[in-house]
Amino acid sequence: MTKLMEAALAEASKLPDDLQDSLAAVILREIDSERRWDQLFARAESLDLLSKLADKAIADRKSGRTRKLSPDPS
């Protein structure tokens, strides 16, 4: 376990039980979500789809159908 995870768990252990359970549920959902994404991206059809989407994005950029996004929301 990493030092950061150890520190996070040490701090979490100081929280009331209901907050610990809420935090644990969030962490477990995130872990499950990461596993599902890994499984989806491991499929050959996912790689084909991502390649097609990348090709479309490049074509859109070259044809002027895109615009730059500003990191400043104002």
pLDDT of 39 reads 93
Task: For 34-72, write each residue's pLDDT tens digit.
Answer: 999 999 988 889 989 999 999 999 999 999 999 888 887
pLDDT band at 74 (very low <50, low <70, confident <90, very high): low
Residue 12, pLDDT > 90, answer: yes
pTM assigned to the model? 0.62
CB 23 within 8 A of CB 12: yes
Residue 60: partners with Cβ closer than 8 Å, 6 or more residues away = 66
Residue 13, pLDDT > 90, answer: yes
DSSP per residue, the chain: --HHHHHHHHHHTTS-HHHHHHHHHHHHHHHHHHHHHHHHHHSHHHHHHHHHHHHHHHHHHHTT---PPPS---
**Mean pLDDT to the nearest integer, 15-37:** 97
